[in-house]
């Protein structure tokens, strides 16, 4: 199942850049839990959960950022139901106009071939470690 999970992460990255909440929801388990690295700012420390998680996440991102996307996506198979990704999150602050280009790591767990648990990290090495890999 590992290669299929890697492919799902690549497709999820493409859907993310299109801001396609419906496509991401179709790739996600109904019990999805996504904890962004900036959760304390974005959600008061709470995770995005369930079928409407992507729409809520994109709405919040649109409030804070202009022209946001991921670039240079690298996906790492950790075996079983675990995958990690490292990428650059690029955008412009909506209020400040300040450009942002930050390297992020994301740890994934899958259930039945769908995104189930996701946590992003400001330090990509932490995402790799979370799935049992090292940078």
Q: What is the pLDDT of residues 44-93, one digit of tens each?
A: 667 899 989 999 999 988 988 898 999 999 999 999 999 999 999 999 99
The pTM for the full model equals: 0.91
**Cα–Cα dist 45/49, whole Å:** 13
Domain 2-130 fold? Nuclear Transport Factor 2; Chain: A, (3.10.450)
| C-alpha 85 chain-centroid distance | 8
Domain limits of the chain? 2-130
Task: Give the residues across from 108 on adjacent strands.
Answer: 83, 118
């Amino acid at each position: 199942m590992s290669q299929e999970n890697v492919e799902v992460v690549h497709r999820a990255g493409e859907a993310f850049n299109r801001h396609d909440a419906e496509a991401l929801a179709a790739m996600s388990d109904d019990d999805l839990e996504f904890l962004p690295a900036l959760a304390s700012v974005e959600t008061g420390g709470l995770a995005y959960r369930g079928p409407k998680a992507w729409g809520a996440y994109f709405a919040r991102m649109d409030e804070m950022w202009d022209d946001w996307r991921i670039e240079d996506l690298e996906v790492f198979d950790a075996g079983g139901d675990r995958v990690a990704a490292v990428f650059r999150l690029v955008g412009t602050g909506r209020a400040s106009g300040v450009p942002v280009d930050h390297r992020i790591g994301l740890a994934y767990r899958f259930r039945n071939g769908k995104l189930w648990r996701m946590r992003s990290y400001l330090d990509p090495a932490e995402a790799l470690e979370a799935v049992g890999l090292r940078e």
